[in-house]
Amino acid sequence: MTKKNEKAGNDLMKHIKPVIRHRLFIPIVFLIFLLLINIFIKPGFLKIGLGKDINGNPVLIGNIINILNNSTELVILAIGMSFVTACSRGQDISVGSTIAIVGGVVMRVLCGNETQPTELKAPVIVAFILGCLAGMLCGAFNGILVSRFNIQPMVATLILFTAGRSLGSMAMGGLKPKAVASFSYYGNFFPGFPIPTPILITAAVIIITCIAMKKTNLGLYTRAVGINDKSSRLNGIEPSRIKFMSYVIMGLCVGIAGFIQASRVQTVNPYTIVPGIEMDAILAVALGGNSLGGGSLNLPGSIVGAYTIQTLTSMLTTLNVNTNAIPVFKAVIIIVLVAIQTPAVKRLFGRKTQAAKPALGGGKESA
Amino acid sequence: MKNLKIPAKPTQQLSNCSIAVQQMVAIARAVDMECKILILDEPTSSLDEQEVARLFGLMRDLKERGVGIIFVTHFLDQMYEICDKVTILRGGELVGEYQVSEIPRVELVAKMMGKELGDLAAIHNEAKGIKDENKEPVIEAEGLSSVSGIKPFNFKAYKGEVTGFAGLLGSGRSECVRAIFGADRVTKGKLRIKGEEVAVTSPIKAMKKGIGYLSEDRKRDGIIGDLSVRENIILALQAMRGFFRPFTKAQAEAFADEYVKMLGIKTASLDTPVNSLSGGNQQKVILARWLLTHPEYLILDEPTRGIDIGTKVEIQKLVLKLASEGMSITFISSEIEEMLRTCSRLIVMRDLYVVGELEGEDMTQDKIMYTIAGVSDQNDKEE
Amino acid sequence: MKKLFSAVLVLMLVLSLAACGKKSETTGKEDKKITVGVVQTNANESDWRTANTNSINKAFEEAGFETKMVFGEGDHAKQISQAQQLIQEEVDYLVVLGLQSAGWEDVAKAAKEAGIPFIMADRKLDLPEDLYTAMVCSDFEAEGKKAVDWLKKQNLPSYKIVVLGGDTGSSAQLGRSKAIEEGAAANGWEIVFNQNMKGWDENLAKQAVADLIASGTEFNVIYAENDNMARGACDAMSAAGITYGKNGDVKVIAFDANKWALEKVLAGEFNLDVECNPLHGPRIVKLIKQLEAGEKIEKNVYVEEEVFDCDTITREMIDARSY
């Protein structure tokens, strides 16, 4: 036996294999690849400079900062969407419309019935909490339809998808108010602090999610229910409760995202706010290597996926790609990215590493 | 379908049919292709005896028409009944090829297990040793019935006793234990656990009262396929511990490790998805899951279905060992011999009714058959 | 179900036709209220739209018309079925403010067959001359040309233009983008960025401009195809410390001229705002009255629209406006 050679080969494999086969490998490699293209075309892409805004407050300026900043909503939604996808084996397509509702509620609370109020009508924290509650209420509505009435997620959320933007407009009383500048801190900068607030909020949401994953069984339960809900029930997990919860979590994510979005320009147009973000959120989940058929929960993947999409969007802007070509451009990149994550292609990649692995022992010799 | 006498309408949705019917439709599809060689991989593992007989009739028919059939099974009787030649494999290696008529049963089993056979006999003796001396009922069901349609039944299980539910496929064996476990919504009746009356409305409540349930359909109700071996093992205990108290990775690792070693589960690692394990090892994983919860009353619904003979013996031994340690166990199997070996009391069912209870000397194959058959209308009913 | 529904509709149509026929024989049109069906886009799409809807409702009320207004809420197909419904309800006039320019032939034909004058407002629809009666439309390309003319007069040493387009394919976006693209080509200006923002969204415009600034793209003109996107662009520039407007480095051109936007023009934040007049009500009333009187009308007249320049705008001009 050439045991020595074999051992050396195995040692090498031991180092490479975990990296290549890691579930975050492809999403991260692709993100780095996109960034490299950007740097190649615009060498100053990674540059972050400390500038001053028009009032003389320090601010960070740079493409990376913009990407981190502008992807906030998408990252938060992708987290919620991952839970929903993992356990209910379907997607919530109402998130964009629900953001319109949240935005409407936030604006109404802050501006009352005036279009150009000179001050905030309520503390921002009240607007934030009410916004989150509105989001969670919408989530609960979707959750009940999915978990109790067993309606397919896409069909169940189609209701709010259709009605949400009108409801948002009704929440605002048909007005288009613009809140005063102090509301803008949450979607932009706090005067004197150079890091955009949304980046901090993203970090906070990610940290809270991490803690929740560590301190609760959310991850295990979500995946168990998504893979086999009958079996989960027989193991003492209530699938309908977990599904319901995932939609409420999604609603909370929508609430936070809607609040930030409203703060960014201090006004909300329910009919046009975050156009198409539901599809981007679903895409982020898919890019992160999660199965859209449920059962897998790769939150870091979804987050990387969200940043990838925003990098792509930003790239298409800075390169001034022709408007008509943008959808084609995006589609091609997405096809490539999704394709290299399919099992068929993965097998091609992993053939060598797998060959070293011994075949699994059957149960026959267990006696 | 007529050829195979499948008891279903062609227009019926397949998922609404019983597993047996689904299995037979799959066979019909294979037969329909008019092939030269037909490979049947464990076609009989979820069929009852009549259905097996029907399938064998068809196989003989095909054989006469010149179709070669490769029949993969773990049922020795069936192999002897239908096959001409047998190829024995063990642990991925070819052991040998024999004419069926030339190899005696004992030798065959010995070759399969790679050692001399003596275990089965030993089990038989152990079984006789168990008696319910300690008359403390762990579980007491009175007039229990559920949405699944079973008729109200009474049932008692004592500490350290192995009970069994016998009956044909679809007679309501699983439904009875599912009602006790709260898996099907209970409509009528009372359930007392150690004398205390409880309303078991969901499995988690039953689990917290010390009941464990290894379900009948391993793929559908048992394993959670893409979860790792470790996660599958700790799942039930974790659910009992509660949402906000997850085990640390080290704890989970320790639990899983302990039971993997104890039951001899063959897996590449604890992180391996459970569905890449063989059927027998999957079953052991689920067994580990329930043993980890240290139940006082453990229900094993068809724990030996679709797994190799070696693991079967192991599981039967384990059942007896657990019972001797004081656990009350209900053991359900389609193979009556298995139940005769392990159980000290048998509940006999027919058409959703409990029709009898056999104990001690009465527990013989003939007696069970007779009880199941009742008068002699068994054939009509089961069509 | 659908078949039954349409059968009932046809029946109703026949009955109402018969009823109408009888009525006009005996009483004539004079003492009957004129019913005008209006197919509007969205109830609360923007301030512009609200002003537009209010103008129509108010003018019709004052003229003594009965108004039947329906909203497509972003759904083109819904608008078409709503229009057909109004035709079947036998309105006297049909006013259409289409979400999209294309696809209105069948409706216009049905109206013609039913003898209902078809008036298009807001966006010009793609219809042959004989299928519509009149139009009250904005000439978006002319609006864009006004901005280009103004830009030319500024005599900047160089022109580096950022074009923030509206929803791709809407007639406003097409017209306004065409004007600046042709203007730039004719005058040798450089368009450094030209992309359309989904939903005319303020935040998307803001993010796009922020990205351009961060990547070091130089520009000195923002050509935003509505007020909101101009405001978003200004937000982004403020955040990066770039000056704009009357005394700034970057010229800001906006469209639509909402009242709040004109305040910004007055404050010198926007350099120019080109009006897109939403006050269609009185014009439509005038048209209908002319038609009632049997006068001949000019088919293709665009709405007159003003330009607001930060150098010439006054408080009175803003106060005089109703939206």
ipTM of the complex: 0.83
Statement: residue A131 has pLDDT above 80: yes
Mean pLDDT of C235-260: 91
Q: Measured between alpha carbons, how far is B253 from B234 in angstroms, rounded to an integer?
A: 9
Structural domain contains residue C185: yes
Q: Which two tokens stand for residue B242?
A: 């509660």
pLDDT of residue B222: 86
Query: Where residue C232 sits, what CATH number does that domain have?
Result: 3.40.50.2300
Measured between CB atoms, does A330 come within 8 Å of chain C?
no
Mean pLDDT of A314-335: 84
Q: Which residues of A touch B (CB under 8 A)?
A: 214-218, 220-221, 223-224, 227-228, 230-238, 295-296, 357, 359-367
SS3 state of residue C118:
strand
pLDDT of residue A340: 75
pLDDT band at B169 (very low <50, low <70, confident <90, very high): low
When comparing pLDDT for A57 and A204, which is higher? A204
Distance of residue B185 Cα from the nearest chain A Cα, in angstroms:
12
Number of Cβ within 10 Å of residue A88's Cβ equals 29
Residue extents of the structural domains in chain B: 14-83, 122-382
Chain A residues whose CB is inside 8 A of the C74 CB are 165, 271
Could you tell me the sign of the dihedral formed by the alpha carbons of B51, B52, B56, B62, in that order? Answer: positive
pLDDT of residue B41: 80
When comparing pLDDT for B137 and B285, which is higher? B285
Mean pLDDT of B70-81: 78
Mean pLDDT of B297-307: 87
- C151 in the same domain as C64: no
Q: Which CATH class is domain A56-320?
A: mainly alpha
Mean pLDDT (chain A, rounded) = 86
Q: In chain C, positions 291-320, which contact chain A (CB-CB < 8 Å)?
A: none
Mean pLDDT of C230-245: 93
Helical (H) or strand (E) element with C222: strand C221-224
Measured between CB atoms, does B264 come within 8 Å of chain A?
yes
**Same CATH fold, B122-382 and B14-83?**
yes
pLDDT of residue B3: 63
Asked whether A131 and A172 are in contact (CB, 8 A), the reply is no
pLDDT of residue C182: 94
Which of A215, A218, A234 has the CB atom closest to B203's CB atom? A234
pLDDT digits (tens, 9 = 90+) for C265-286: 999 999 999 988 888 888 899 8
- C259 in the same domain as C283: no
pLDDT band at B134 (very low <50, low <70, confident <90, very high): low
Q: In chain C, positions 246-265, which contact chain A (CB-CB < 8 Å)?
A: 260
pLDDT digits (tens, 9 = 90+) for C155-194: 899 999 999 999 888 888 999 999 999 999 999 999 999 9
Q: Measured between alpha carbons, how far is C178 from C193 in angstroms, rounded to an integer?
A: 14
- C217 in the same domain as C87: no
CA B344 to chain centre: 17
Q: Which residue has the tokens 């001396």?
A: B133
- C116 in the same domain as C170: no
Mean pLDDT of B111-125: 52
pLDDT digits (tens, 9 = 90+) for C139-150: 889 999 999 999
Asked whether C192 and C164 are in contact (CB, 8 A), the reply is no
Contacts (Cβ under 8 Å, ≥6 apart) of A336: none
Poorest-pLDDT segment among A173-187, B11-25, B338-352, C33-47: B11-25
B294's torsion region: left (phi>0), alpha (psi -120 to 50) or beta?
Answer: left
Chain B residues whose CB is inside 8 A of the A227 CB are 224-227
Q: Among candidates A189, A198, A200, A202, which has minimal Cα distance to A50?
A: A189
Domain, as residue range, for C313: 140-276+309-319
SS3 state of residue B93:
strand
Interface test with chain A among C52, C161, C168, C202, by most A beta carbons within 10 Å: C202
pLDDT band at A146 (very low <50, low <70, confident <90, very high): very high
Do the chains contact at B224 and A230, CB–CB below 8 Å?
no
pLDDT of residue C29: 44
pLDDT band at A360 (very low <50, low <70, confident <90, very high): very low
Number of Cβ within 10 Å of residue A305's Cβ equals 30
SS3 state of residue C322:
coil
Distance of residue A167 Cα from the nearest chain B Cα, in angstroms:
35
Asked whether C280 and C256 are in contact (CB, 8 A), the reply is no
What CA–CA distances, in Å, run from C122 to A330, C41, C106, C259? Answer: 33, 10, 19, 19
- C144 in the same domain as C78: no
Statement: residue B125 has pLDDT above 60: no
DSSP for B196-212, written as a single string: EE----SHHHHHHTTEE
Measured between CB atoms, does A114 come within 8 Å of chain C?
no
pLDDT of residue A8: 60
CATH level 3 topology of B14-83:
Rossmann fold (3.40.50)
Enumerate neighbours of A (3 or more CB pairs within 8 A).
Answer: B, C
Burial-class residue A132 by CB neighbours within 10 Å (0-12, 13-18, 19+): buried
CA B179 to chain centre: 17
SS3 state of residue A97:
helix
pLDDT of residue A88: 93
- C176 in the same domain as C63: no
CA A366 to chain centre: 46
Contacts (Cβ under 8 Å, ≥6 apart) of A233: A239, B183, B202, B203
Which residue in chain C is spatially nearest to A177 when comparing CA positions? C47
Which residue in chain B is spatially nearest to A357 when comparing CA positions? B268
Could you tell me the sign of the dihedral formed by the alpha carbons of B147, B150, B151, B155, in that order? Answer: negative
Q: Where are the beta strands (DSSP E) in chain A?
A: 49-52, 58-61
Statement: residue B291 has pLDDT above 80: yes
Mean pLDDT (chain B, rounded) = 80
Asked whether B278 and B217 are in contact (CB, 8 A), the reply is no
The amino acid at residue C4 is L
- C268 in the same domain as C150: yes
Structural domain contains residue C16: no
Q: Among candidates A259, A213, A263, which has minimal Cα distance to A102?
A: A259
Q: Among candidates C71, C85, C91, which has minimal Cα distance to C5?
A: C85
Measured between CB atoms, does A33 come within 8 Å of chain C?
no
- C315 in the same domain as C167: yes
Mean pLDDT of A271-294: 89
Measured between CB atoms, does B260 come within 8 Å of chain A?
no
Statement: residue B147 has pLDDT above 70: yes
- C206 in the same domain as C231: yes
pLDDT digits (tens, 9 = 90+) for B237-246: 999 888 888 8
The amino acid at residue A354 is Q
pLDDT digits (tens, 9 = 90+) for B323-339: 888 889 999 987 777 88
Contacts (Cβ under 8 Å, ≥6 apart) of A33: none
Enumerate neighbours of C (3 or more CB pairs within 8 A).
Answer: A
The amino acid at residue A227 is I
Statement: residue A207 has pLDDT above 90: yes
Percent of chain A with pLDDT over 70: 88
Q: Which range, B334-338, C70-74, C81-85, has the best average confidence (pLDDT)?
A: C81-85
Measured between CB atoms, does A118 come within 8 Å of chain C?
no
Q: Among candidates A103, A272, A184, which has minimal Cα distance to C236?
A: A184
Statement: residue B378 has pLDDT above 60: no
Distance of residue C17 Cα from the nearest chain A Cα, in angstroms:
35
CA angle B142, B148, B154 (to 5 degrees): 15
- C170 in the same domain as C80: no
Number of Cβ within 10 Å of residue C320's Cβ equals 8
pLDDT band at A173 (very low <50, low <70, confident <90, very high): confident
Chain A residues whose CB is inside 8 A of the B225 CB are 227-228
Q: Among candidates A91, A229, A65, which has minimal Cα distance to A152?
A: A91
- C39 in the same domain as C146: no
Which residue in chain A is spatially nearest to C239 when comparing CA positions? A53
Do the chains contact at B113 and A236, CB–CB below 8 Å?
no
pLDDT of residue A318: 86
pLDDT digits (tens, 9 = 90+) for A41-78: 888 788 888 888 888 889 998 889 999 999 999 999 99
Chain A residues whose CB is inside 8 A of the C235 CB are 188, 265
Measured between CB atoms, does B182 come within 8 Å of chain A?
no
pLDDT of residue A365: 33
Statement: residue B6 has pLDDT above 80: no
Mean pLDDT of B299-308: 86
Structural domain contains residue C231: yes
Mean pLDDT of B64-81: 80
pLDDT of residue B113: 59
Render the burial of A184-207: b for 16+ CB within 10 Å, e for the rest.
bebbbbeeeebbbbbbebbeebbe
pLDDT of residue B330: 92
CA angle C21, C27, C30 (to 5 degrees): 110
pLDDT of residue C305: 84
Which of B202, B231, B246 has the CB atom closest to A238's CB atom? B202
Number of domains in chain C: 2
Q: Which CATH class is domain B122-382?
A: alpha beta
pLDDT digits (tens, 9 = 90+) for B206-238: 999 899 999 888 888 888 888 999 999 999 999
pLDDT of residue C144: 93
Q: Which two tokens stand for residue B236?
A: 């039930």
Structural domain contains residue C298: no
- C313 in the same domain as C183: yes
Asked whether B212 and B298 are in contact (CB, 8 A), the reply is yes
